[in-house]
Amino acid sequence: MFADLHLHTSFSDGTYSPEKLASEGKRHNLAVLALTDHDTMEGCERMAAACVAEGIEFVPGSELTAEQDDYELHLLGYFLDSSCEKLTKALAEFQTARQDRIREMVERINKAGVNLEAESVFRIASCRSPGRPHVGRALVEAGICRTLDEAFERFLKKNRPGWVPKFRISAPDAIQLIHQSGGVAVMAHPGLNRSDDMIPELVEAGMDGIECFHTKHSTAVSEHYLMIAEQKNLLITGGSDCHGMNKGKPLIGSIRLPYSNVQKLRERSEQNRVRYGHTPADPSAN
Per-residue confidence (pLDDT) for residue 193, from 0 to 100: 81
Residue 103 lies in a domain: yes
pLDDT digits (tens, 9 = 90+) for 93-141: 999 999 999 999 999 999 999 999 999 999 999 999 999 999 999 999 9
Confidence at 276, pLDDT banded by 50, 70, 90: confident
pLDDT digits (tens, 9 = 90+) for 11-37: 998 999 999 999 999 999 999 999 999
Three-state DSSP at 256 gives: coil
DSSP label at residue 130: -
**Is 285's pLDDT higher than 80?**
no
**Is 283's pLDDT higher than 50?**
no
Residue 122 lies in a domain: yes
DSSP label at residue 196: G
Q: What is the CATH number of the domain that holds 117?
A: 1.10.150
Residues with Cβ within 8 Å of 215's Cβ and at least 6 positions away in sequence, in order, are: 240, 241, 251, 254, 255
Residue 64 · residue 90 · CB < 8 Å: no
Residue 180 · residue 86 · CB < 8 Å: yes
pLDDT digits (tens, 9 = 90+) for 213-268: 999 999 999 999 999 999 999 999 999 999 988 766 789 999 999 999 999 999 99
Residue 124 lies in a domain: yes
Residue 129 lies in a domain: yes
Residue 130 lies in a domain: yes
Range of the domain at 120: 96-156
Residue 151 · residue 49 · CB < 8 Å: no
Residue 185 lies in a domain: no
pTM, entire model: 0.91
pLDDT digits (tens, 9 = 90+) for 38-53: 999 999 999 999 999 9
C-alpha separations of 143 from 116, 119, 125, 136, 180 in Å = 10, 16, 17, 11, 45
Residue 116 lies in a domain: yes
Residue 101 lies in a domain: yes
**Is 194's pLDDT higher than 90?**
no
What's the CA angle centered on 14, arms 130 and 248, to 5 degrees? 125
> Residue 252: is it exposed, middle or buried by C-beta count within 10 angstroms (0-12/13-18/19+)?
buried
Q: Count of domains in the chain?
A: 1
